[in-house]
Structure 1
Amino acid sequence: MNDIMERARRTVLEQGRGLAYDELVEVLRLPDDRIPELLDLAHQVRMRHCGPEVEVEGIISLKTGGCPEDCHFCSQSGQFTSPVRSVWLDVPQLVKAAQETAATGASEFCIVAAVRGPDERLMSQVAEGIRAIQEAVDINIACSLGMLTQEQVDRLRAMGVHRYNHNLEAARSYFGSVVTTHTFEERWETCQMIRDSGMELCCGGLVGMGETLEQRAELAVQLAELGPHEVPLNFLNPRPGTPFGDLPLMDSKDALRTIAAFRLAMPTTILRYAGGRELTLGDLGTREGLLGGVNAVIVGNYLTTLGREADEDLRLLWELRMPIKELAKTL
């Protein structure tokens, strides 16, 4: 009974407890010929502890580019020579995007801004946009506006924000190699305030940035400790002009092992496919991940990179007989 798969089956599938750090490292080191077995277990865990439904979300950037932070993977940083430059959307564009997102069957629409944290101008624009969206379409509204104060957390909740996204990005031990303009602890503090406010916390990370297998396991454990409602899992899509622009794409088999490991670390959490899956996994790998623990998808384009066409993802979900979660206002 020393085999990691047998232990994982007993601990996660039967008892509903996530794997510990050392066990996740073992999972991430499994040989390629055991990946199908691993994905099958992760899928069983997802079905038992989360159910068959898949949550679909669209995102739009309220402010793109010109961010003062130096996240080494991000083309929106104003410190790098990457081609994204600051752009603001107006409220009618936000409403149109929310309507188009709802038309795909998505239950969530996320407003994103490339900032360290929101100033008063941005908070006012977000409030105006949320009011207009709520009048036009029945969809849950999420936001991702950087680091927050407690007063801003309270204001967003009062606006009717259903969920807030603020990723840890990388494990604590690797964070300084990814970002130098703010700390892991600052991100953690915002996440705690969101979680304690009653809003749902969406908090994930990015893999394939040169971190070790051990640091991937560390990130999964730290996310599990934080206890977010949802974990978006991003795979590095190297962007020209950024410090990580020349890194190779993550190996697809490592990506599949990572998906399964995150599911086994957090058996009851929404695990969402996010950026980079198209390049890292391709069509076949995307399908395997959906049958290996993933139960949520961002459809359409991301903030600065192209995704799959929404119709392609929706068709795939239909082929796999994965029902899309019904719209449900929870606040």
Structure 2
Amino acid sequence: MADSRPVTSSPAQPTTRFPILATAREQVLERGEGLSPAQLLEVLQLPDAALDELLGLAHEVRMAWCGPEVEVEGIISLKTGGCPEDCHFCSQSGLFASPVRSAWLDIPMLVEAAKQTAKTGATEFCIVAAVRGPDERLMAQVAAGIAAIKDAVDINIACSLGMLTAEQTDRLAAMGVHRYNHNLETARSYFPQVVTTHTWQERWETLRLVRDAGMEVCCGGIVGMGETVEQRAEFAGQLAELDPHEVPLNFLNPRPGTPFGDLELMSGPDALRTVAGFRLALPRTVLRFAGGRELTLGDLGARRGLLGGINAVIVGNYLTTLGRPAESDIDLLGELQMPLKALNDTL
């Protein structure tokens, strides 16, 4: 986590037409106290005319409480498709008529992917599997993959393998996994509309086990799945209660053949309001641009998001969808004079 003191002092409070932004400047920027769900709801309901001021404030908060560095991560799918769960946004579910089919990577391919990720300047490499939770075969494959990666390249290794038992969390920590991703996906009140084959509470329990095992907690979700702005504010409040080290923020990219395949894309202004709002609710957290930003925001939106509270990115492709070329994101960070977080700062 970032230091509890601001990195920079803020200028005198400017005048604003929007009282919630004056409140946020004093509460979040000056004192480092995140907005409550009720306060965040006011932010998410601000008009487009307030967007530039909101993004500017979120950027000040990011710089003050996290600093200028950007953490870069690459992800790879070790086991793709054939998942028994019914997450309505996901084309990897074996229950939907979506085009993704089950496949496994071998260890040499995993190592090569880690090497290519490190070449971009990334400090994080996340191994992902489309499963309810890992069986013994998957745990053995992950152990072999981690050992091979550690022998070949200097990079932090994270995992996202679904729901875990206490014994599995301990084993992953012993393998050297320093961060574990398991998204809550959405507000607890909306979760039954997104997933029916397991509960929000089951996900929360895995996150508790991850923290107890000594790994960093990575937990975020997807916005634009039909939830209300009230539920977005609720979700941010639940993440703040969890206090994860990292929050990956995804925007729904509707996938053919899934129950959410016909939903409309979230609007750019709503997406940017969400980015800035989550920064004001989570001032010290690593807030990572993740899937869907290319469609929802485009190149200009990516720039505005990086100047509106984001301090981490996933580069390259995602699990089943294309992302921006890694070089494009690295070049943009250079243009914005945002240094990449060094590996020795993340260990």
Pairwise same-fold verdict (TM > 0.5): yes
CA offset at residue 196 of structure 1? 2.1
After superposing on structure 2, the runs of 4+ consecutive aligned residues of structure 1 that deviate more than 3 Å are none
Choose from 44, 54, 68 the match for 2:60. Answer: 44
Equivalent in the alignment of 2:165: 149
Choose from 248, 251, 272 the match for 1:256. Answer: 272
Choose from 196, 199, 202 the match for 2:212. Answer: 196
CA offset at residue 330 of structure 1? 5.6
Matched, 1:269 2:269: no
Contact 2:123 2:346 in 1 (8 A): no
1:199-240 deviations in Å (ceiling 9; x for gaps): 111000100000000000000000010010000000000000
Instruction: Give the whole-Å Cα distance in 1 for the aligned partners of 2:196 and 2:242.
Output: 22
Instruction: Give the whole-Å Cα distance in 1 for the aligned partners of 2:165 and 2:67.
Output: 35
Matched, 1:293 2:309: yes
CA offset at residue 25 of structure 1? 0.3
Choose from 152, 160, 169 the match for 2:176. Answer: 160
Choose from 223, 246, 250 the match for 1:230. Answer: 246
Q: Secondary structure at the residue paired with 2:343? A: coil
Choose from 200, 204, 222 the match for 1:184. Answer: 200
Choose from 106, 130, 140 the match for 1:90. Answer: 106
Q: Letter of the 2:183 partner, please give it.
A: N
Matched, 1:55 2:71: yes
Equivalent in the alignment of 1:303: 319
Q: Secondary structure at the residue paired with 2:324? A: coil
TM-score, L = length of structure 2? 0.94
Instruction: Give the whole-Å Cα distance in 2 for the aligned partners of 1:233 and 1:328.
Output: 25
Q: Secondary structure at the residue paired with 2:333? A: helix
Change (3 A) 1:329 1:253: closer
Q: Secondary structure at the residue paired with 1:271? A: strand
Q: Secondary structure at the residue paired with 2:261? A: coil
Contact 1:275 1:307 in 2 (8 A): yes
* Structure 1 unaligned spans of 5+: none
Instruction: Give the whole-Å Cα distance in 1 for the aligned partners of 2:237 and 2:344.
Output: 30
Q: Letter of the 2:96 partner, please give it.
A: F
Equivalent in the alignment of 2:258: 242
Contact 1:139 1:329 in 2 (8 A): no
Q: Letter of the 1:60 partner, please give it.
A: I
Contact 1:165 1:203 in 2 (8 A): yes
Identify which range, 193-202 or 42-51, moves more after superposition.
Answer: 193-202
Matched, 1:124 2:113: no
Q: Secondary structure at the residue paired with 2:112? A: helix
Choose from 214, 224, 227 the match for 1:208. Answer: 224
Matched, 1:169 2:185: yes
Q: Letter of the 1:223 partner, please give it.
A: L
Identify which range, 132-141 or 194-203, moves more after superposition.
Answer: 194-203
Contact 1:195 1:228 in 2 (8 A): no
Equivalent in the alignment of 2:10: none
Q: Letter of the 1:57 partner, please give it.
A: E
Matched, 1:17 2:44: no
Choose from 16, 31, 42 the match for 1:26. Answer: 42
Contact 1:140 1:328 in 2 (8 A): no
* Structure 2 unaligned spans of 5+: 1-15
Equivalent in the alignment of 1:280: 296
Q: Secondary structure at the residue paired with 1:44? A: helix
Contact 2:71 2:341 in 1 (8 A): yes
Instruction: Give the whole-Å Cα distance in 1 for the aligned partners of 2:49 and 2:30.
Output: 24
Choose from 105, 118, 122 the match for 1:106. Answer: 122
CA offset at residue 192 of structure 1? 1.0
Q: Letter of the 1:317 partner, please give it.
A: L
Q: Secondary structure at the residue paired with 1:324? A: coil
Instruction: Give the whole-Å Cα distance in 2 for the aligned partners of 1:286 and 1:127.
Output: 35
Instruction: Give the whole-Å Cα distance in 1 for the aligned partners of 2:141 and 2:344.
Output: 25
Q: Letter of the 1:113 partner, please give it.
A: A
Matched-pair identity in %:
75
Aligned length: 331
Change (3 A) 1:310 1:70: same
CA offset at residue 65 of structure 1? 0.3
